[in-house]
Every structure is written in structure tokens, then in C-alpha cells.
């Protein structure tokens, strides 16, 4: 059975097409990304302007066409914080649904965290024990912790890389003073989350699962042996912290020449680094591992699970 997951996020509209069957792992066949950075299109009243909505609708229409060309049986369409929190969100959702020809599932922040946690748990397996998850999107930062497939605690805070860039680092380069102002804001925002997580057992694995974190791991981390001869990336907090002053002094055009920093991430990578480093400090994390699976895989896995349970005995 061929399924598609359309993830309408704050940075990108990303279509993942995969072949699935009950009890099996999803096998990706096609991945199509359109970079939008919706935070650029936010008006002072919190609405997405017409240019941004038009770009969003066009990207969704392209994804629908690809899904049809790929013979996708069912398209699971989700939207996250940028659409969810826009003051004209209802209008934007209606236009997206018209372009899709179907309903759109708008995920709350904790739901994002739970789907992503499921994907990470399946990737690392039950033997991974207690997991602490960080996931940085364009609009929000999700955190979750637990030892089962669903986290015991999950939180979402408005510290996404795109939002933080627009609000705190609008200049290019932003400079170290602006980065410190963002750090102070992130620290204050994360205080209640750190207090909530303090009651959790010490994690066996700390995991980061977003594109921004993968980019930072390629920049400041290093590979370590994984399972069955594979490699996994480890990102130490001290190495990440040492890069922040340099990133803040470099213009975006120079940042994209660094290892792991792609053109679509270069504008937001400073904010992502500051937020992640602050979160790791607040939760007393020395290093984290990078998961290749995240929200889209979590949505697919949950759907596959529903197929498995609906199969006749």
C-alpha cells in the first residue's frame, strides 16, 4: 500500500511517499520539499499575508500532483505551528483544503511531540530505555520524555528557529549581542519545561530529530558506531556552544559554505543553535544523538498501526 505524508511546517512543505504494510516499517520512495519559511510572511497582527498563503497553496498543489503521479492511495496531510497559530488560520486552512481536495489535520504542539517521539522510539527500539527528545521546527520547539511508545511528558514552546530569527535575529549577520538576547529569552521560556522534566528518570538516550539539529550535528558533531556496523551522529553541547559566536558573526552567505548548513537553513541556523544549546543546558544534557526519523515517520507509523489492528484475525 502506498501512502503519502504531507507535512506543512513553518519552514517547508514536505511530502514523503512510502510503501507500507501492517507490521512492517515504511519504505520511502519519494521525498519532495518546497522551502517557504512562512515566518517571513507574518504580518504584525500574526496573520500570514496573501503572498505567503499563495506560496503555501502552490506548494500544496504541487505536492498533491506528485502524490497522484506516485499512485498514493491515501494522503495524510498535517499542518503544524505556523498555520495553527496564524490569526487568519481558519482561512488559510480552508484554502489549503481546497488545494488538497481533502481535510487537513492541524496538530497541536504536544501532538507533534508525541508523533515524533513514537518515530524516535521505533527507530531506537525498546532497548533504548528512557528517551529525552528535542525537536526544533520553524515555529516551535518540542520536548518529550518517556520509556514507552508514548511519552510520559511532552511540551511545545514558541522557540522555533524561524520565529526566533524574525523576533530576535533580524540582521545579517545578527551579532553576538542579539544571540545573547535570544539566549536569555529561551532560558526564561524553558524554565517551566525544565521544572516539568526534572521529575523524569535520567535518560538513557537524548535524541534530536529535526533537520536543523541534523545540520548542527554535521557542523559541530561527529559520527560514532551504531548498530550493525552503521554510524550515528553525536552532538556535544560544548562543541555546539563554541560555534555560536562564530555563526553569529558570519553573514548568511558565508554560513551556507560550512559543513551541513544548506542554503534553506542558513538564515535560521544561528537561532536553532542558540535555542538548542540553551535547551540542552536547561535540561543538563551534555550531548545528544540524531534520529533520522521524525514527525512524518511518526504519522506514518501510527497509521500503519491502525491498519494492523483493523486486520481480521
Q: State whether 130 and 98 are in the same domain.
A: no
116 with 220, same domain?
yes
For the stretch 25-77, pLDDT in tens is 888 899 999 998 888 899 999 999 999 999 999 999 999 999 999 999 999 99
What average pLDDT score do residues 111-116 get?
Answer: 94
Asked whether residue 42 falls in the same domain as residue 129, the answer is no
Residue 313 — very low, low, confident or very high, per pLDDT cuts 50/70/90? Answer: very low
Is pLDDT at 143 greater than 80 in this prediction? yes
Query: Is residue 11 domain-resident?
Result: yes
- The residue out of 78, 106, 134 marking a domain boundary is 106
290 and 189 part of one domain: yes
Q: Are 128 and 205 found together in one domain?
A: yes
Instruction: Say what the pTM is.
Output: 0.92
Do 140 and 270 reside in the same domain of the chain? Answer: yes
Cα(280)–Cα(7) distance, integer angstroms: 26
Which position has the grid cell 545528544? 288
Considering its fold, how many domains does the chain have in total? 2
Is the alpha carbon torsion for 14, 19, 23, 25 positive or negative? negative
Would 39 be classed as within a structural domain? yes
CATH assignment at residue 249:
3.30.420.150
pLDDT: which is higher, 145 or 262:
145
User: Residue 20 falls within a domain, yes or no?
Assistant: yes
What whole-number distance in Å separates Cα of residue 89 and Cα of residue 42?
12
CATH assignment of the domain containing 63: 3.30.420.40
Q: Share the mean pLDDT of the chain.
A: 93
Q: What angle do CA 107, 23, 109 make, to 5 degrees?
A: 15
Distance CA 185, CA 230 (A): 38
Same domain for 226 and 250, yes or no, is yes
**Residue for cell digits 554510524?**
231
- Give the range of the structural domain holding residue 8, as residue numbers without chain letter: 2-106
Amino acid at each position: 500500500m502506498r501512502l503519502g505524508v504531507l507535512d506543512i511546517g513553518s519552514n517547508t512543505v514536505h511530502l514523503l511517499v512510502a510503501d507500507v504494510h501492517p507490521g512492517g516499517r515504511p519504505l520511502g520512495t519519494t521525498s519532495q520539499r518546497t522551502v517557504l519559511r512562512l515566518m517571513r510572511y507574518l504580518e504584525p497582527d500574526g496573520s500570514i499575508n496573501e503572498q505567503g498563503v499563495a506560496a503555501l497553496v502552490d506548494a500544496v498543489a504541487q505536492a498533491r500532483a506528485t502524490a497522484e503521479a506516485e499512485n498514493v492511495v491515501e494522503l495524510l496531510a498535517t499542518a503544524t505551528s505556523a498555520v495553527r497559530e496564524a490569526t487568519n488560520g481558519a482561512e488559510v486552512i480552508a484554502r489549503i483544503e481546497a488545494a488538497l481536495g481533502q481535510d487537513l489535520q492541524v496538530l497541536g504542539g504536544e501532538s507533534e511531540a508525541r508523533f515524533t517521539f513514537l518515530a524516535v522510539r521505533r527507530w531506537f527500539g525498546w532497548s533504548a530505555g528512557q528517551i529525552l527528545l528535542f525537536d526544533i521546527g520553524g515555529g516551535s520547539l518540542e520536548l518529550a520524555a518517556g520509556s514507552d511508545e508514548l511519552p510520559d511528558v511532552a511540551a511545545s514552546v514558541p522557540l522555533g528557529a524561524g520565529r526566533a530569527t524574525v523576533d530576535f535575529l533580524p540582521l545579517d549577520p545578527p551579532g553576538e549581542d542579539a544571540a545573547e538576547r535570544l539566549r536569555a529569552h529561551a532560558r526564561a521560556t524553558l524554565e517551566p519545561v525544565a521544572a516539568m522534566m526534572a521529575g523524569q528518570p535520567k535518560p538513557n538516550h537524548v535524541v534530536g530529530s529535526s533537520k536543523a539539529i541534523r545540520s548542527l550535528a554535521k557542523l559541530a558533531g561527529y559520527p560514532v558506531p551504531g548498530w550493525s556496523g552503521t554510524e550515528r551522529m553525536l552532538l556535544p553541547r560544548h562543541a555546539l556552544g563554541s560555534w555560536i559566536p562564530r555563526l553569529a558573526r558570519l553573514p548568511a552567505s558565508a554560513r551556507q559554505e560550512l559543513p551541513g548548513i544548506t542554503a534553506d537553513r542558513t538564515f535560521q541556523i544561528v537561532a536553532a543553535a542558540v535555542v538548542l544549546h540553551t535547551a540542552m543546558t536547561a535540561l543538563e544534557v551534555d550531548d545528544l544523538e540524531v534520529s533520522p526519523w521524525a514527525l512524518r515517520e511518526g504519522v506514518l507509523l501510527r497509521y500503519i498501526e491502525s491498519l494492523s489492528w483493523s486486520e481480521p484475525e
